[in-house]
Amino acid sequence: MTAAVKINREGRSEFAKDEGNSERSLSNMEEKPAAKKRTLKGKLKIAVCFFGHLRTYKQCAPFLHRNLLNQYDCDLFMHTWTRLDHNTKAWHDYAKMEGDAEEAEILRAYGEFKGLVIEEQRPVDMGIIRTQPCSNDTIAETSIFGINAMFRSIRAVNRLREEYAVANNVDYDFVLYVRGDIWLKKPWRFKEILASLSEQEIDCGFFALSMYFSKLLRGLESLGAHDLLFFGTPKVISDVVNNTEHYTDRFQPDMLLRSGPEHELFKFVKERHWTPYGIVGFRRGIDWEIHRPTNGIDWMRRSQRKQLIQLRIRRNCVRFYLFQIYMRQLFRLRFAVLNREFDFCVGAAEDVI
C-alpha cells in the first residue's frame, strides 16, 4: 500500500491511497477513521542525516536552521563527497557547482556534527537507465553509478548515526534524511504531517517528499522527489537503508522505466514490508525548492522561471512573486479587498515564523 499525504490549511493531514490497481484522486480523498494517536509532545529528538553532493548547501543552510534544526532537538550527521557536485550522467543538465566540500565551511554552515565523513568519489561505468514517465515526455538518461553512489552515501551516514546512538544511548523519535540543496521555505511540522495517523501507522511508515500530484491518474509512480527528503522511525529507516547494498541490481543498462527512478525507492520500501507515504501537501515552489546553481540558459526552464516570476490567482487570493531565487525578502505588501487576499513580494516569500 502506498499513500500520498496532503496537509490542508487547518494542518490536518489527508491521504490518497494506491492499493493494488485501485487509484483515487485528490477530489475523493477520505479522512481515516479515528485511531489511537502517537504522543508527539515536547521537543522531538531528531537525527538529521545529510547525504550525497552538497551543491548549494551554503545558501540553503540558514533556512534549514530556521525551519527545521531550530524547531527540534537535532543531532547532525553527514556523509558527502569531496566535490560539491556530481560528474556522472543525470536526468537533467542543470549547471553544476564547482569546488570542493571543505569541513571548515560545512561546520560554519551547520554547526556541530555528531558524525561527519567526506569521501572521494571514483566513478565507474555501470551503464545508464532511461526514464519516460509519460509517452510524450523526453527520454532522460541517468547513470546507474550515480544512483549506486547515492545509496552508498545514505548507508554510510546511517552507520554514523547508529554508532553514535548506541555509544551514547540516544533514542531518536525520527531519523530525517535531507540533501544539502533543499531550500526549506516554510517550517517543517512533524506533528501536522502525522496528525491523523495511528501509532502503528507511524511506526510502520516511510515518509518522503513528493513533487507532483497532477498525474495521479497514472498511479503514484508519477510522484517524484522521494530521495530528496524522507524520514521515519529509526527502526524503519535502518531496515530500509541498510538493505540497499544491492539496490541497483534492479537496474539493467539501457532499460526503460515508465516512472522516475525515485519511485523504485517506494517499491523497495514496500518490499521491506513498510508503508511509503508521499507528502504532497508540502508543496514545491511554495514550501520547499531544490536550489540549483543557474547559468545563462536556465531561466528558460519552467522550474527556474517560477523562481524569477510567479503569478497565482485563486478564488480568495492573488499572489505575485518576483525573484524568489535570491532567497532573501526585499519587499512585501499584503492586503485584503472584499474577502480576497493580495500578496506582492520581491525576493523570498517567507511567512513570519
The string of pLDDT tens digits covering residues 212-246 is 544 443 445 545 667 889 999 999 999 999 999 98
Mean pLDDT: which of 16-25, 41-50, 259-268 is highest? 41-50
- Asked if residue 226 is part of any domain, the answer here is yes
Other CB atoms within 10 Å distance of the CB of residue 84: 22
- Asked if residue 34 is part of any domain, the answer here is no
pTM of the model: 0.76
Kindly list the strands in the beta sheet with 275-279, ordered across the sheet, starting from the edge strand earlier in the chain.
Answer: 13-18, 2-7, 275-279, 205-209, 229-232, 174-179, 45-51, 73-81, 115-119
- Asked if residue 243 is part of any domain, the answer here is yes
Whether residues 73 and 222 share a domain: the answer is yes
What local confidence, expressed as pLDDT, does residue 269 receive?
92
- Asked if residue 271 is part of any domain, the answer here is yes
- Asked if residue 107 is part of any domain, the answer here is yes
Rounded CA-CA distance 79/51 in Å is 5
Rounded CA-CA distance 110/178 in Å is 13
Other CB atoms within 10 Å distance of the CB of residue 92: 10
Q: In whole angstroms, how far apart are CA 185 and each of 28, 182, 309?
A: 29, 9, 16
- Residue 280 DSSP SS3: coil
The mean per-residue pLDDT over the stretch 1-29 comes to 41
What local confidence, expressed as pLDDT, does residue 217 receive?
39
- φ/ψ of residue 153, rounded to 5: -65, -40
| Residue bearing the bigger pLDDT, 190 or 249 | 190
Looking at the chain, which runs of residues are DSSP E strands?
A: 2-7, 13-18, 45-51, 73-81, 115-119, 128-131, 140-143, 174-179, 182-184, 205-209, 229-232, 256-257, 275-279, 288-290, 309-313, 317-322, 329-337, 340-347
- Asked if residue 103 is part of any domain, the answer here is yes
Give the end of a domain, one of 247, 264, 290: 290
Amino acid at 103: E
What local confidence, expressed as pLDDT, does residue 256 receive?
84
Whether residues 266 and 330 share a domain: the answer is no
Residues with Cβ within 8 Å of residue 284, at least 6 apart in sequence: 209, 211, 225, 290
Whether residues 276 and 315 share a domain: the answer is no
Domain residues for the domain of 85 are 45-290
Beta-strand relationship, 329-337 and 340-347:
antiparallel
- φ/ψ of residue 109, rounded to 5: -80, -40
What local confidence, expressed as pLDDT, does residue 278 receive?
85
Whether residues 239 and 325 share a domain: the answer is no
Whether residues 207 and 329 share a domain: the answer is no
Whether residues 227 and 342 share a domain: the answer is no
Rounded CA-CA distance 47/155 in Å is 14
Tally of structural domains, the chain = 2
Instruction: Retrieve residue 92's grid coordinates.
Output: 537533467
The pLDDT mean for the chain works out to 79
Whether residues 322 and 285 share a domain: the answer is no
Whether residues 269 and 343 share a domain: the answer is no
- Asked if residue 92 is part of any domain, the answer here is yes
Structure letter (DSSP) for residue 133? S
- Asked if residue 203 is part of any domain, the answer here is yes
